[in-house]
Amino acid sequence: MSYRKKETTTVVSQEMISEGIFDLRVKTAAASDCVPGQFVGVFPPSDAHILMRPISICDADPDGQILRMVYRIAGEGTKGISKLKAGDEVKLLSVLGNGFPLETAKDKKVAVFGGGIGIPPMLYTSEKLQGISKETEIYLGYRNSDTFLADEFKPCGTVNIVSEDGSIGYKGNVLDAIRERNYRPEVIYACGPMPMLRAIKIFAEETGALAYISLEERMACGVGACLGCVCKTVHKDAHSHVNNTRICTEGPVFDAREVEI
């Protein structure tokens, strides 16, 4: 459950792990209070960028109180965050959103999908599925052979690498790979670009699997006040009486059957 605390944390380390992709680790008690699929709001160090940037949680070490975030530079705000180094202070709004319901995977065949910068939150998810799921297959989609984090998934299940250009692993997309392997999961957890999530929603409907998808969206506040990150849902909002829901508070993880994407 998110407690939405704004705090000043200390950077433990930061490094670029792929072109334009950075691995940021900070010291915070939030590492003890997060679940896979949640995210934090990271405030850029420059006063010229006052809005937080939502970054998913890649991993958490509750004993060492270290929170890990892997993100891609997407604009001036994340470019500023990428300049942070060990010992610097950084402000966070944490922990935000709702995570993946991992208990649904108990004794089930599971597929984990990550595409592009949707891959990082699936690492924490895959780690936590160990000892819960009956078996886990992991599908990681990249544009080309410039991969990141792939080796860290190996202890968590059978890892299948997919690239759009075929330069590494399966050629195509993650759905092409799972169909080629003829793997039929009972439960799906996924994060990635919208076309991938739409395809996974259809795949789940075709196969009868339960699918939980994490939606990516630009956010301003992260606490549901600005209504800048809504999506359509099958449920009617009690206040607005329209079929919208807020990704930052009711999400970012949804049962795929409940959202229109």
Q: How many folded domains does the chain comprise?
A: 2
Q: Are residues 90 and 106 in the same domain?
A: no
Task: For residue range 145-192, list pLDDT tens digits in order.
Answer: 999 999 999 999 999 999 999 999 999 999 999 999 999 999 999 999
Would 117 be classed as within a structural domain? yes
Given this model, what pLDDT does residue 52 score? 85
What is d(CA 112, CA 104) in angstroms, rounded to the nearest whole number?
Answer: 13
User: Which of 77, 96, 115 is the last residue before a domain boundary?
Assistant: 96
Q: What is each CA distance from 48 to 51, 53, 77, in whole angstroms?
A: 9, 13, 9
Would 180 be classed as within a structural domain? yes
CA 246-249-118 angle, to 5 degrees, is: 85
For the domain that residue 106 is a member of, what is the CATH number? 3.40.50.80
Counts of helices then strands in the chain (DSSP H, E): 4, 17
Would 227 be classed as within a structural domain? no
Would 65 be classed as within a structural domain? yes
Given this model, what pLDDT does residue 73 score? 96
What is the bridge-based pairing of β-strands 66-72 and 253-255?
unpaired
Task: For residue range 131-145, list pLDDT tens digits in order.
Answer: 999 999 999 999 999
The pLDDT-based confidence of 1 (bands split at 50, 70, 90) is very low
User: Which of 27, 61, 96 is the last residue before a domain boundary?
Assistant: 96
What is d(CA 100, CA 203) in angstroms, rounded to the nearest whole number?
Answer: 19
What is d(CA 53, CA 36) in angstroms, rounded to the nearest whole number?
Answer: 18
Would 251 be classed as within a structural domain? no
Q: Are residues 113 and 71 in the same domain?
A: no
Side chain identity at residue 4, one-letter code? R
Task: For residue range 55-82, list pLDDT tens digits in order.
Answer: 999 999 999 999 999 999 999 999 999 9
Q: What is the pTM of this model?
A: 0.89
Residues spanned by the domain of 39: 5-96
Would 243 be classed as within a structural domain? no
Side chain identity at residue 227, one-letter code? L
Element at 152 (helix H, strand E): none
Would 22 be classed as within a structural domain? yes
Q: Are residues 85 and 20 in the same domain?
A: yes
Taking a C-beta distance cutoff of 8 angstroms, is the pair 33, 65 a contact?
no
For the domain that residue 72 is a member of, what is the CATH number? 2.40.30.10
Would 252 be classed as within a structural domain? no
Q: Are residues 44 and 118 in the same domain?
A: no
Q: Are residues 83 and 133 in the same domain?
A: no
User: Which of 96, 128, 144 is the last residue before a domain boundary?
Assistant: 96
